[in-house]
Chains A and B, each alone.
Chain A
Amino acid sequence: MSEIVSPLPGVFYRRPAPEKPLYVEEGKAVKAGDAVGLVEVMKSFQEIKAEADGVIKSIKVEDGDVVEAGQVIAELE
């Protein structure tokens, strides 16, 4: 199992834009490099990407929540 962490502090979003679908859901397979969320830092947006292939076991942060640098966003297995 591996963890996907936020590299920066900010506000976490699960969608690329309010009317767009979620990046990922629990139980979904992802490839290395796939975006799993977005962090808004100082009004700019950084995608958070999976570093390895796997299945999203759990998503630890709600859409719109504040995250710290290094905080676990999702668990991958």
Chain B
Amino acid sequence: MPYFNKILIANRGEIARRIIRTCNRLGIETVAVYSDADEDTPFVREASEAYSIGPSQASKSYLDINKILDVAKKSGAEAIHPGYGFLSENAKFAKSCEEAGITFIGPDADKIELMGDKIEARRHMKKAGVPVVPGWDGQLDSVEHAKEIANDLGYPLMLKASAGGGGIGMHVVQNEAELEKSFSSAKQTAGSSFGDDTVFLERFISKARHIEVQVIADNEGNTLHLFERECSIQRRNQKVVEESPSPFLNEKLRGQLCESAVKGVKEIGYTNAGTMEFIFDDDTGDYYFLEMNTRLQVEHPVTEEITGLDLVELQLRIAANQPLNITQDEVTKSGYAVEARLYAEDPETYFPSPGKLNTFKLPEELGRFDVAYEEGNTVSPFYDPMVGKIIVHGKDRNEVFDRLEEIIEQTEIEGIKTNLSLFKELVNESDFREGRYTTDYLQTRKQGKEEVK
């Protein structure tokens, strides 16, 4: 039985193309929506049908719920895949789809809402017996109250917006004076960015590894993990390199981590694909739940490469109310996979570099390239700087990094700056190569380089 006849993709770029590929294989028609800036990009042409939804600014196109639902109705799409970013974790959008009689390919709106509230998420995970970062889940009424709580918890601490996530709206506070300084601005930023000024305190883990677990759950209570992804190579709290398996975990710890993830997901009755993010304290080896992303992630391909599963197909299957056709024992991993995110930016300063891709040549036979653009396209200034992802799968870490290096050498990009050179450097650094790194790795190596200068 086919999952759907026709679906709409409420996204752009590489993830829209990625979803189209699976739909083509399954014989599902696709409807693309695009802004002015994206008119000439590949996903618009590759979809079965494409509709303009207006201006380049995301707020006037990709984030406009009414426009997207209008196209869905007009085109006869039965379901909407939100991709990642944009409306993918917008509970109101998921609810609006439901009310319009269109299937939202993702979890139920109330689960998005629950996990979007970081304090509520912590409470539920605690209840499930999943370790959470030591912290305070209650209200922080005033700066005086925050100071009292902070003294009990001990510094350094992280002040976070409850409605935040993805590294936005976080302040590290080392002592009472810093807490006093950050408290009101953190509340204000939270209020203006997320429409909710609730903030909370967590212990700040200075030497941390970020490891996440991919989960998938159907509507009949089958909940599986698809192993972990190591995502500690980050710049400005944004991931740059992801790999699986994590070089840090042994089989015992991997088993515990994946079990914690499944326990947490079952506790809230979550369905469809999701990611449980954990932080590992490099000093103690303890791990804690950080947040859950209630959507497909950018880095899902590394999981696909090691498990041989198509995550978009699994999402479609569950959204079509069909049970998973695999069991936990049948989910196996093979070899090693890495993903390098190609960003249009200066590799040293991270300064954005939009512009025309005068040359864009990739050695297609050497890896998997999930990219938004082709030669001659303009990398738009309106959306995030990710041009695409280079994904390599091989028998072990060494083989994968050697191939990544070969890919970088054979890739030709002209017209914009990219961080391609960063990957070339990384694969030749012994700490990176041997998996000895924490989330401050890119920052620390940069400081090291500056001191040498």
Contacts and interface: CB of A to CB of B under 8 A. Distances in A.
Interface of A: 8-11, 17-19, 41-44, 64, 66
B381 A10 contact: yes
Contacts of B192: 17-19
Nearest to A17: B192
B381 A8 contact: yes
B55 A42 contact: no
Contacts of B385: 42-44
Most buried by A among B55, B192, B350, B352: B352
Interface of B: 55-57, 192, 344-345, 350, 352, 354, 381-385
Contacts of A17: 192
B57 A42 contact: no
A18 B188 CA distance: 12
B384 A43 contact: yes
Which 8 residue pairs across A and B have the least CB separation, nearest first?
Answer: A42-B352, A42-B385, A9-B381, A10-B381, A41-B352, A41-B381, A43-B384, A17-B192
B352 A11 contact: no
A43 B381 CA distance: 8
Contacts of B345: 42
Given A8-B352, A9-B354, A19-B192, A42 B383 contact: yes
A11 B57 CA distance: 7
Contacts of A42: 344-345, 352, 354, 381-385
19 contacts: A8-B354, A8-B381, A9-B381, A10-B354, A17-B192, A18-B192, A19-B192, A41-B352, A41-B354, A41-B381, A42-B344, A42-B354, A42-B383, A43-B383, A43-B384, A44-B350, A44-B352, A44-B385, A66-B382
Most buried by A among B344, B354, B381, B385: B381
A18 B384 CA distance: 21
Contacts of B55: 66
Main secondary structure of the interface of A (DSSP, over half): loop
A15 B450 CA distance: 34
B383 A66 contact: no
Contacts, number: 36
B5 to A, nearest CB: 35
A66 B383 CA distance: 13
Contacts of B350: 44
Main secondary structure of the interface of B (DSSP, over half): loop
Contacts of A41: 352, 354, 381
A17 B185 CA distance: 13
Nearest to A67: B381
B115 to A, nearest CB: 22
B266 to A, nearest CB: 34
B104 to A, nearest CB: 24
Contacts of A66: 55-57, 382
A31 to B, nearest CB: 25
Contacts of A64: 57
A68 B452 CA distance: 38
A42 B357 CA distance: 16
Nearest to A20: B192
B39 to A, nearest CB: 14
A72 B55 CA distance: 21
B225 to A, nearest CB: 31
B46 to A, nearest CB: 23
A17 to B, nearest CB: 5
A52 to B, nearest CB: 24
B238 to A, nearest CB: 10
A59 B359 CA distance: 37
Contacts of A43: 383-385
Nearest to B85: A43
B354 to A, nearest CB: 6
A11 B382 contact: yes
B253 to A, nearest CB: 35
Most buried by B among A17, A19, A66: A66
B179 to A, nearest CB: 22
Nearest to A44: B352
Given A11-B382, A43-B383, A66-B55, 17 more contacts: A8-B352, A9-B354, A10-B354, A10-B382, A19-B192, A41-B352, A41-B354, A41-B381, A42-B344, A42-B345, A42-B354, A42-B381, A42-B382, A42-B383, A44-B352, A66-B56, A66-B382
A19 B195 CA distance: 12
A17 B191 CA distance: 11
A10 B384 CA distance: 12
Contacts of A18: 192
A39 to B, nearest CB: 9
A42 to B, nearest CB: 4
A15 to B, nearest CB: 11
